[in-house]
């Protein structure tokens, strides 16, 4: 992928896939279809993508809304934070625990998908994508167990499994290894900074000062 694709400012690497109801990297289409078919035939799980490719502008909108307190900002335990009590570094770290920096989201690559089991939900249920839904007793716990046992057969893994002080664990977040890992390696701090410098993003000055650290803590895989 080139710099524009890595930072979500181009769509030349992704395709719309109507039967999967998502937009993903062209090399992920066949593996995701195979994963979806197996989930249904083996376990009656109706795998559904609730988030796949997300462009730079969408990520910028999420970032700015969280910075301004227009969307909920959570601490690392999932409790609401008062945005007005946080300095710039506090806001940056609180947002990055749950949402990626624009230009540095794995969803920009089209290689990563947030998934639920549509068959497990009652009509009108709105997935929250929170740990409790995937924990024992949660609505998607059976999905979690099946993915743990089966996703590697189709080339998928979870990039956020343990809390290492960066992104919080996300049981719903799947990544296609052969496509995502080269993208992750290619996303340098310089590419991230160039994307940030060209956009209207809250906290820009401090983000640029911390770019190397942010890449190491929140982008590079450390498992």
One digit per residue, pLDDT tens: the chain, 223 residues? 999 999 999 999 999 999 999 999 999 999 999 999 999 999 999 999 999 999 999 999 999 999 998 998 887 777 888 888 899 999 999 999 888 999 999 999 999 999 999 999 998 899 988 889 999 999 999 999 999 999 999 999 999 877 656 677 789 999 999 999 999 999 999 999 999 998 999 999 999 999 999 999 888 875 5
Task: Judge residue 223's burial from the number of C-beta atoms within 10 Å of its C-beta, 0-12 exposed, 13-18 middle, 19 or more buried.
Answer: exposed
Same domain, 109 and 214: no
The b/e string for 64-103 (b: 16+ C-beta within 10 A; e otherwise) is bbbbeeeeebbeeeeeebebeebeeeebbbbbbbbbbbbb
Domain count of the fold of the chain:
2
Same domain, 84 and 125: no
- Tell whether 223 is covered by a domain: no
- Tell whether 182 is covered by a domain: no
Same domain, 16 and 76: no
Same domain, 42 and 64: no
Question: pTM for the full model?
Answer: 0.90
Same domain, 6 and 96: no
Same domain, 41 and 122: yes
- Tell whether 181 is covered by a domain: no
Same domain, 111 and 97: no
Same domain, 115 and 161: yes
Same domain, 100 and 196: yes
**Residue span of the structural domain in which 91 resides:** 59-104+188-218
- Tell whether 78 is covered by a domain: yes
């Amino acid at each position: 992928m080139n710099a524009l694709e890595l930072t979500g400012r181009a769509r030349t690497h992704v395709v719309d896939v109507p039967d999967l109801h998502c937009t993903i990297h062209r090399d992920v289409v066949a593996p995701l279809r195979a994963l979806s078919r197996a989930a249904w035939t083996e376990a009656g799980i109706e795998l559904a993508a609730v988030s796949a490719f997300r462009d730079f502008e969408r990520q910028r909108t999420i970032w700015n809304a969280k910075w301004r307190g227009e969307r909920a900002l959570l601490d690392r335990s999932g409790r609401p934070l008062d945005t007005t009590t946080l300095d710039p570094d506090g806001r940056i770290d609180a947002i990055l625990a749950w949402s990626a920096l624009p230009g540095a989201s794995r969803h920009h690559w089209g290689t990563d998908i947030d998934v639920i089991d549509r068959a497990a939900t009652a009509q009108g249920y709105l997935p929250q994508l929170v740990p409790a839904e995937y924990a024992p007793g949660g609505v998607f716990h059976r999905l979690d167990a099946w993915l743990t046992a089966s996703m590697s057969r189709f080339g998928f893994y979870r990039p956020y499994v343990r809390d290492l002080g960066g992104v919080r664990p996300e049981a719903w977040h799947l990544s296609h290894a052969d496509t995502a890992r080269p993208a992750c390696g290619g996303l340098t701090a310089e590419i991230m900074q160039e994307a940030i410098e060209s956009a209207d993003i809250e906290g820009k000055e401090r983000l640029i000062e911390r770019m190397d650290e942010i890449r190491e803590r929140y982008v590079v895989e450390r498992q």
